[in-house]
Chain A
């Protein structure tokens, strides 16, 4: 049974020569070859943008952080200087006000000290 099957298979798969003119008919049937100029070379598809982002994201973030830190520091320093200037100007105004007031009161004492004393007779009249 097996032998018969093998023989049949062998017969079916035996080498058979191509009919005459087969090669010419195939060559005639194939489409015309395009010119070399018409060929568009395929470009390899590379995920360039993604890889660049991955490559530069960390330094970019660091640079951005540094910039933000520098600007924030400058802003804080400016605010501090402004606050200090305002406090200083307020303190200097208070200082001048205090010294003026002191001088006014010393002036008052000086005037009272320099004023001639009323005659004792007049004082006695006032008392009576």
Chain B
């Protein structure tokens, strides 16, 4: 009996870090067929090892890369799928719906829902909050001729994200510094409210 308990505890201890790593990780569809149809495609798959390696090779003398280096140290994965097409809506909506369904899981909350009828652009920004800290970020952006999904996994420090403002063109998310910045709540209301009237 004791042996069973010890085994279960060991399994839990071993599974703990793995679960922590996979928390916030979305299962992105293969989209191999989509890449053939697309006029341009970007696929970035950086797991913890590759991210660590890439992070080491960033040039700290470059402001962009120095800021990225700061951010990527606490991350465990970055996954990007972006496809551009010559024709409109050439991508299957089912793939996007599949990703959205994963984001309906507990912990994920949509912090930005932007719908532009004029430009026919939909952008959703989701944040996975666990223990008052952001553990994952997902962005789904769809335009008539373009479709992009971004999944950033890891301990996302919103203050560091704030440091990126202006460096990559990251907009000011009005994240307050100090303790409040650790939770996504202060960043949500200013961004979300204006989006609602334009929602489909």
Which residue numbers of A lie inside 8 Å of B, CB to CB?
A: 84-85, 87-115, 117
Contact = CB atoms under 8 A, between A and B. Distances in A.
Contacts of B150: 98, 101-102, 105
Contact of B194 (A85, A103, A107, A117): A117
Contact of A88 (B56, B64, B121, B152): B56
B181 interface: no
A92 B137 CA distance: 20
Nearest to B119: A112
Interface string B39-79: 00010101000110111111000001100100110000010
A103 B164 contact: yes
Nearest to B116: A112
Interface in B164-200: 164, 168-173, 191-192, 194-195, 197-198
B28 interface: no
Contacts of B137: 102
Contacts of A102: 80, 137, 139, 150, 152, 168, 170
Interface of B: 42, 44, 46, 50-51, 53-58, 64-65, 68, 71-72, 78, 80, 82, 112, 114-116, 119, 121, 123-125, 137, 139, 141, 148, 150, 152, 164, 168-173, 191-192, 194-195, 197-198
Contact of B65 (A96, A103, A115): A96
B54 A105 contact: no
A102 B75 CA distance: 14
Nearest to B59: A92
B141 A105 contact: yes
Contact of A91 (B57, B121, B141, B192): B57
Given A106-B139, A113-B191, A96 B64 contact: yes
Contacts of A115: 116, 194, 198
**CB-CB nearest 8 A-B residue pairs:** A91-B54, A110-B171, A112-B114, A103-B168, A88-B57, A109-B123, A92-B57, A103-B170
Contacts of B119: 112
Contacts of A98: 44, 46, 78, 80, 150
21 contacts: A88-B54, A91-B53, A92-B54, A94-B44, A95-B46, A98-B80, A99-B78, A101-B44, A103-B169, A105-B123, A105-B139, A108-B114, A108-B123, A108-B141, A109-B124, A109-B125, A109-B171, A109-B195, A112-B114, A115-B194, A117-B197
B65 A92 contact: yes
Given A101-B148, A103-B170, A112-B114, A85 B57 contact: yes
Contacts of B164: 99, 103
B53 A87 contact: yes
Contacts of B68: 95-96, 99
A103 B112 CA distance: 14
Nearest to B125: A109
Contacts of B121: 108, 112
Contacts of A92: 54-55, 57-58, 65
A84 B52 CA distance: 12
